[in-house]
Amino acid sequence: MTSPGLFATDRQEPLYAGGEQEQLESWLDYHRDTLLRKCEGLTPEQLRSRSCEPSTLTLLGLVRHMAEVESWFNDDPADGAVPPIHYSQDNPDGDFHDVADADIEADEATFRRCVERSRAFTAEHRDLGAVLAHRRSGEAIPLRWIYLHMIEEYARHNGHADLLRERIDGATGD
């Protein structure tokens, strides 16, 4: 089994009322915690278990990937881009592929640090219309879009995580 408390979460239901940013944050936190819940209580081998050949998708790979994706909140034009953690130009899928020898506790800690960095960033950026990035085409990307994209990214990958977890030990649910 993994270390006690590894991937533990106190997931809260998303807000049903409140300000727009608070609701977006509550939905995002719900999905962040859902991913952790899918990993909780599994052995290192189970966390590295592939969905099915030829896919290299694993629960650990999803955690590593979402740590990378959290950088959407930190690619502030004033601060510069957050450097990659698990991938490179030469290894663009390192977050998914390089899990065989990965340090699971370090990867979970990295994920949590990335989430906290994102929370700190959004605590300082309260204007949902503020442009924080640009598409390659030059189109502006406001903070609101980043929240919505992150919720979509987590929701999609949590579907993958649900299937992986079901395959590993039959556990289902959100």
Answer for the pair 46, 169: CB distance below 8 angstroms, yes or no.
Answer: yes
User: How would you write 74-99 as a 3-class SS string?
Assistant: CCECCCECCCCCCCCCCCCCHHHHCC
Residue for token pair 């050949």: 53
Torsion over CA of 132, 138, 139 and 144, rounded to 10 degrees?
-10
Candidate CATH numbers 1.20.120.450, 3.30.70.120, 2.60.120.200, 1.10.10.60; the one for domain 21-169: 1.20.120.450
Q: pTM value?
A: 0.93
| Per-residue pLDDT reduced to its tens digit, 4-59 | 689 999 999 999 999 999 999 999 999 999 999 999 999 999 999 999 888 999 99
How far is Cα 67 from Cα 94, in angstroms, rounded to an integer? Answer: 12
How far is Cα 107 from Cα 2, in angstroms, rounded to an integer? Answer: 13
Domain edges within the chain: 21-169
